[in-house]
Structure 1
Amino acid sequence: MKISIVCPLYNASKYIEELNSNILNQDRDGIDELEVVYILTKSKDNSKELLEKNKLNYIEIDSKDFSHSLTRENSGKKLKCDILVFISQDIIMKDNKWLINLVNPIMSGEVQATFSKQICKIENIEKYTREKNYPEESRIVSKEDIDKMGLLTFFYSDASSAVKKSVYDELKAYDNKDLIINEDMYFAHKLILAGYKIKYCSDSQIYHSHDFKLKELYKRYFDTGVFFKDNRKFKEYNSNESGLALAKYVFKRAREEKNTKVLFDILPNFGARFIGKTLGEHYNKLPKTFVINSSSAPYYWNRKNTKN
């Protein structure tokens, strides 16, 4: 059984050595061969020097060629392996069982794709949203769960995920589309509709922490809004986990832990999410001044008159 791990990098000098060490220290019971491929977008720090110093396997691409979907698709389809694992540069594996617990359900034939539990180490709103989105119990979803779970059926994160390589190739990954966000949800939707199963593995655990400023949240959710506008098929599904329900959960947990900072942050934080997503869903009707605040403004502006 051969496992290939693909990890995109950008200005990643503070992550590379610890990340690679964590990978090499993983339990490999049942894994015959493990390869790690780093995809380095030309960076302003010494990421390239560190990769070469540690003799790590990497491919360098220009910043204009990076795409959340196409970079993964182009690298993944070239690899010859049984299971393809995608990770992001800023994760920290909680223990040496992360990898084997992630790939075991695929190796056994239980499912065709998996993703890990994410834990936030910062005492902020993300700590509680991670609790809500990544519960203690594992679960398996399939096409039969769509009526009950709606959009949540396709919840899937390639910050730490695995997929059977033959299925990945069969489904043609992201259909050669340049997706700026939610490429993992896009693929999960294809996988589920094709009759395959996804397992959320709560015993495969990573630390993945962010502390977004309001402007960064706005940009992120503007991107998300554009994704849903450009991929209208997701509008067909019920969203059982509303933003309001998530905000209520955060409020409840913050009160329990007397986290005053989070209590004061809830309104502006979820407000930025709501405004960003709403404007993103109408980006081609917006004055340029709104779009320019997005992280990929030229991308949106060039597509303003595109029919969807």
Structure 2
Amino acid sequence: MKEITVDVIIPVYRPGERFGELLKRLDAQTQPVNRYIIMNTEQAYWDRWLSETGYSLPENLSVFHVTRETFDHGATRDAGIRQSDAGICVCMTDDALPADQYLLENLVRGLTEKESTAVAYGRQLPDRDCGIIERYTRAFNYPEESRLKTREDLPELGIKTYFCSNVCAAYKRSVYLELGGFTKKTIFNEDMIFAAGAMERGYGVFYSAGARVIHSHNYSGIQQFHRNFDLAVSQADHPEVFSGIRSEGEGIRMVKQTAAFLVRSGKAYLISKLIYTSGCKYLGFLMGKRYRRLPRPVVLWCTMNKAYWGK
């Protein structure tokens, strides 16, 4: 049997202690990393990290520098994958930590068990400082059961059929190149857009519950607004994927289930916070869907990624 080679592609901006821990945990994986491909935004931050940590670059780690103005969620990751010659490319973010030494092994298994699988993505677990609402959201979006998804699941899963996350996702490089890779200009959602295109061509997307990373955020309501604005912009820019598939229904279901969970947990007093943050998400999403009607200064206030709008 042909040996499986795995390269890991990581966009990095202002690396810190967590990034060093990520590299350490990846080095300890049962599935060896053939090569690390680092897509670093702004060389000065990378040089500072090297100076402060004394980190010695291993021979299998390559760094490519881009500026904030040229960074793009799709194009930058695509450039990293095209630097690879491995059979499998794993995309990760610099703040996601493998929960154990079997992360890459489980991703590879999920990706290779069926020839028709194009991408496998992992389960995101809450970090120690994660609030109870976000903990439940993680459990809602990343259940304990693995699942292979295809276009036939659209009537049941709706928008979640296409869900995939480059926080931790493995791609068969040959299939990735066959399908043209990530869209080269996108503010968000390059992973879901690719997943939808793969399904259109008959491929499946595998959710590997056993491939676990620790990754969560305690976003404020305003941060949720900005994030969901950009999320909706990506949907508005790609009607070939998202038109006719409503996202709001899934969001309402999550809010209802989270509220019920808070009541059961004796945390009903947090429902007001849930309503506030959910309202911020929904308002950001509505405005993002209609961003073309908004004045440019309003768009620049709403977005998380101001550099994107200068392109």
Please report the TM-score for the alignment, with normalisation by the length of structure 1.
Answer: 0.90
Q: Which moved more, 1:198-207 or 1:40-49?
A: 40-49
Give the superposed CA RMSD: 2.1
Code of the residue aligned with 1:53 in structure 2: it is Y
Residue number among 201, 207, 214 corresponding to 1:200 in the alignment: 207
Residues 16 and 51 of structure 1 are in contact (CA less than 8 Å); yes or no, is this contact kept in structure 2?
no
> In structure 2, the residue corresponding to 1:112 is in which secondary structure?
strand
| Equivalent residue number for residue 187 of structure 2 | 180
1:1-308 pair list within 5 angstroms: 1-28=4-31, 34-42=34-42, 44=45, 46-49=48-51, 53-56=55-58, 57=61, 58-109=63-114, 111-121=117-127, 122-175=130-183, 177-233=184-240, 234-239=242-247, 241-259=249-267, 262-293=270-301, 294-297=303-306, 299-300=308-309
Residues 68 and 307 of structure 2 are in contact (CA less than 8 Å); yes or no, is this contact kept in structure 1?
no
- The 2-side partners of 1:241 and 1:290 are apart by 27
Q: Which moved more, 1:142-151 or 1:265-274?
A: 142-151
- The 1-side partners of 2:166 and 2:19 are apart by 18
Query: Aligned pair in 2 of structure 1 residues 49, 68: CA closer, same or farther (>3 Å)?
Result: farther
Query: Aligned pair in 2 of structure 1 residues 161, 241: CA closer, same or farther (>3 Å)?
Result: farther
> In structure 2, the residue corresponding to 1:79 is in which secondary structure?
coil
| Equivalent residue number for residue 306 of structure 1 | none
Identity %: 26
Residues 13 and 50 of structure 1 are in contact (CA less than 8 Å); yes or no, is this contact kept in structure 2?
no
> In structure 2, the residue corresponding to 1:69 is in which secondary structure?
helix
- The 2-side partners of 1:186 and 1:41 are apart by 23
> In structure 2, the residue corresponding to 1:162 is in which secondary structure?
strand
Residues 228 and 288 of structure 2 are in contact (CA less than 8 Å); yes or no, is this contact kept in structure 1?
yes
Shift in Å at residue 239 of structure 1? Answer: 4.3
Residues 259 and 268 of structure 2 are in contact (CA less than 8 Å); yes or no, is this contact kept in structure 1?
no
Query: Aligned pair in 2 of structure 1 residues 298, 10: CA closer, same or farther (>3 Å)?
Result: closer
- The 1-side partners of 2:249 and 2:35 are apart by 37
Q: Which moved more, 1:80-89 or 1:45-54?
A: 45-54
> In structure 2, the residue corresponding to 1:295 is in which secondary structure?
coil
Which stretches in structure 1 are left out of the alignment for 5+ residues? 304-308
Shift in Å at residue 48 of structure 1? Answer: 4.4
Shift in Å at residue 125 of structure 1? Answer: 2.2
- The 2-side partners of 1:52 and 1:170 are apart by 40
- The 2-side partners of 1:240 and 1:145 are apart by 18
Which stretches in structure 2 are left out of the alignment for 5+ residues? none
- The 1-side partners of 2:247 and 2:230 are apart by 18
- The 2-side partners of 1:260 and 1:237 are apart by 32
Residues 26 and 96 of structure 1 are in contact (CA less than 8 Å); yes or no, is this contact kept in structure 2?
yes
